[in-house]
Every structure is written in structure tokens, then in C-alpha cells.
Amino acid sequence: MDIRSDFHTHTNLSSCAADEVTAQALIDGLCGGSDGLRVLGISNHLWDSDVEGGSEWYAPQNVKHVLSLRKELESVDTHGARVLVGAEVEFSSDCRVAVTAEHAALFDYLLITANHVHMKNFIIPASMTDPDEVRDFIVKRFLAACDAELPVKCGICHPFFPMSFPSSENEILSGISDEQYGECFEKAKAKSKSIELHSSVFGPHLPHNNRIGAGDEYVRMIGIAKETGCTFHIGSDVHKPFALPGIKLREFAEFMGITEYQMTDF
């Protein structure tokens, strides 16, 4: 299986990445060498300023800023890889995708983020800490994100990952029934939303696990998505030129029996 691709990566155009993570530095780290990526999608954080309701953190990360990557890419050495300009676009607290259709069309693809539940009092009320409530919130938003109609190919990034709830992560995920997952992934399939194989899946079944305890829940989740007939993309979510997470996700795809034919063609 050759699925040397990664569609969820950040450069210094994202406020959370270091200055030295230029497009060239990221591409050198991920696409260089004999085992380097063949396809790299760069997906910096985005809130289109034409959509009301953004936060102070998102304000500079607008369409013009994120698309400045195209100019930067004109003078990089891609080591033979195909490099796509995407974005990780936010989904508002009232379930609107934070990019206009007109601007969405300027990207090669988009990843919709429905579960940035670490953004307290912006995406989620800070008072919401009960695992049952957080679970309902995340499931509802997954379904709503699948319904987003945009004129480019879209994926859902870090599906169901309850960011910033490490102590209740397993409780939150194990409370999502097989039937609920089935409904969610049927919707994703019907609405052509790619399911991300994200670094959050790392669990006890992988040697480089860093989230011990939650792994089996991700295996159940992705197993149901596979049975439902969804397609997948790898999304390491690296914010620096660090190839290992993407390589481990390729191993995870193999572990799950996901073949190149089940990978999304962005």
C-alpha cells in the first residue's frame, strides 16, 4: 500500500506554529528523502473575515493570509511532491462553517473542524464539563459539519476527538454507541466528507502511543467508518517538519485494513 500523503499540516501562517516553519522547511522535512510524501496538503487555520463571529485569535488568520501560501509555494523545491493549498476551517458555535462559498472555491480542499472544544467561551461554554454534555455537543456538531455545502472537496478533521478533556476522553468516546457512529458516518459518506486518520488515534496498539487508554475507542470508531464505506485521509496535524506522526498514521491505516482505494482523492 502506498499512501504517502498527509493533508493536515500547518506552517507559520498558523498562529500556533513557530516562525521557522516555512513552507520550504515543512516540505523538506516531510517530502524529502526516499520515503517522503508524494502528496502534501497544507491546512492552516482559517476564519474568513466575511463570516461574522470570529475570535481575536482567528482575526489575522483570514482568507488572504492563508492563501498567501500560494505565492510562497512559487519558489519552493517540492522534492517532486504534489503540494495542495487547503485550510482547517472553523465551525462556529452556532454551527456555521467559517468561510463563504465564494472564498472556499479558492482552496484546493478544506478540512472542517467541528470539535475545537478547547476553545472555551468561543466554541464551547467554559461551564460545559460534563462528559455526557460534551459528547452530545461533539456528535451534534459532527453531523452539522457533514451538512456543510462547499464547492470544494472537504474532510472532517480529528473526528470526535474531545480536545482538552484528557481525563474524560475515554468516557466521552465510549458513550457514543455503534448506532450513533453509524448514523454519523452514513451522513459523512452521503455528503462526501472524508474522515481523517488523525494523530489522536494513537493508543496502546501502536508502539509510539501517547494517548494510552483511548486507543481502542478510536479503533472502534474508525472500524465503523470503514464498514460504512467512508473514505479517509491522513492528517498528522504536525506544526513542524516532523514526519513520524504521518508514518505512524500510515501504519494505523494498515492496522485497520484501510487500502489506498479507500483513501480520499483530494
Residues that bind Zn ion (CB under 5 A): 88, 113, 237
- Identify which of residues 48 and 237 has a Cβ nearer to Zn ion in the complex: 237
Cα-based torsion angle of the residue sequence 192, 193, 199, 200 in order, rounded to the nearest 10 degrees: -120
**Least distance from Zn ion to the Cβ atom of residue 113, Å:** 5
The position carrying cell 500500500 is 1
- Identify which of residues 88 and 108 has a Cβ nearer to Zn ion in the complex: 88
Determine contact, residues 16/45, Cβ cutoff 8 Å: yes
Residues 6+ apart with CB under 8 A from 255: 205, 206
**Least distance from Zn ion to the Cβ atom of residue 191, Å:** 20
**Least distance from Zn ion to the Cβ atom of residue 111, Å:** 8
- Identify which of residues 123 and 263 has a Cβ nearer to Zn ion in the complex: 123
- Identify which of residues 17 and 256 has a Cβ nearer to Zn ion in the complex: 17
**Least distance from Zn ion to the Cβ atom of residue 15, Å:** 12
Amino acid at site 191: K
Determine contact, residues 27/70, Cβ cutoff 8 Å: no
How far apart are alpha carbons 175 and 201 in whole angstroms? 17
The neighbour count for residue 94, using CB atoms within 10 Å, is 7
- Identify which of residues 10 and 228 has a Cβ nearer to Zn ion in the complex: 10
- Identify which of residues 6 and 237 has a Cβ nearer to Zn ion in the complex: 237
How far apart are alpha carbons 244 and 109 in whole angstroms? 24
**Least distance from Zn ion to the Cβ atom of residue 210, Å:** 16
**Least distance from Zn ion to the Cβ atom of residue 19, Å:** 18
Farthest-apart Cα atoms in the chain, separation: 49
Determine contact, residues 46/90, Cβ cutoff 8 Å: yes
- Which residues sit opposite 90 in a β-bridge? 113
The position carrying cell 464505506 is 229
How far apart are alpha carbons 109 and 88 in whole angstroms? 9
Question: Of 63, 109, 110, 108, which is closest to residue 88 (Cα–Cα)?
Answer: 110
**Least distance from Zn ion to the Cβ atom of residue 10, Å:** 6
Helices (H) then strands (E): counts for the chain: 8, 7
- Identify which of residues 113 and 231 has a Cβ nearer to Zn ion in the complex: 113
